[in-house]
Chains A and B, each alone.
Chain A
Amino acid sequence: MSTVELGVLTALAEPNRMRIVELLRDGPRPVGEIAERLALLQPQASRHLRILSEAGLVQAERRAQSRVYHLLPEAFRSLEAWLNTFAEIWEERTDRLDAYLSELGADEESSE
């Protein structure tokens, strides 16, 4: 089972970037459309796309007036890689619940 690289995870840890990747799974899109679909301002979308690009997840092509972004097959060749990123997100989330439950438990004990 392949694991997702750290840089990729860091890039995807930001929920807006995760959503951009989700959107690009449907096919290449110009930056303006990405911003519009995700209710982001264009500079914001561009910033996230730059980070995703540096992580090797997306690539831009200049077409007519705009930059069109697509997912790089090397990063997202399989559903497995995709599912792995979701698994990481949920694993971290259950870790946080565990830590929070420990805090709750400690509070109860100290108040007794």
Chain B
Amino acid sequence: MSVQITKDFDNNRLIVERFYRASATVVWACWTEAGHLRHWWGPHGWLVDVFELDLRPGGLWRYRLRPDGQHDLEDEQWGRAVYRVVDEPRRLEFDDGFSDAAGNLIVGSSMPTAVRIDDQQGRTNVSITVEFTGSDELARAEAIGMVEGFSDALERLDTLTTEMGE
């Protein structure tokens, strides 16, 4: 397939690369304009309502995901991203998180996401790097790899991180 996925366990990140038959300018617009994002950002069968999109470093992107058609209010999800780097049309970086309906960030939900858009011989290569947050997460990942019982590992890690915090 045209998509290439690298799972970088050492650095706790995921890299997704893909070529598109469109110009870098158009791809940039798809990533940064509400009218375009609503067509592809949400999972299949979900609608994206963009409430705020302030495309500058420190600016907020707030949106709601809701199932297409009849659904309960409680199924709605609120996204809250903060832009870090806005360098049209090549680099876009943001912390991608969830919030409650009032807009308060859900602690621990934020993932640093970096998008690189490069023209390459008439095609556009898009590379997305998603980092799994924080050093706790790294320590946790190591613990998970070493022991079989997931819950046991996490309990031990909890103890460990608590001790380290003291």
Contact = CB atoms under 8 A, between A and B. Distances in A.
Measured as residues with beta carbon below 8 angstroms from the partner, the interface class of chain A is: 35 or more
Interface in B116-156: 126, 128, 130, 140-141, 144-145, 148-151, 154-155
B149 A101 contact: no
Interface string A17-61: 001001001111000000001111100100000000000000000
A86 B130 contact: yes
A73 B149 CA distance: 6
- A-B pairs, 10 with minimum CB distance: A44-B74, A39-B100, A73-B150, A96-B40, A100-B40, A101-B22, A90-B16, A97-B40, A79-B141, A100-B39
Interface of A: 13-16, 19, 22, 25-28, 37-41, 44, 70-73, 76-80, 83-84, 86-87, 89-105
14 contacts: A22-B108, A25-B140, A71-B151, A73-B149, A73-B150, A77-B148, A79-B141, A79-B145, A83-B14, A84-B7, A94-B126, A96-B41, A97-B126, A100-B30
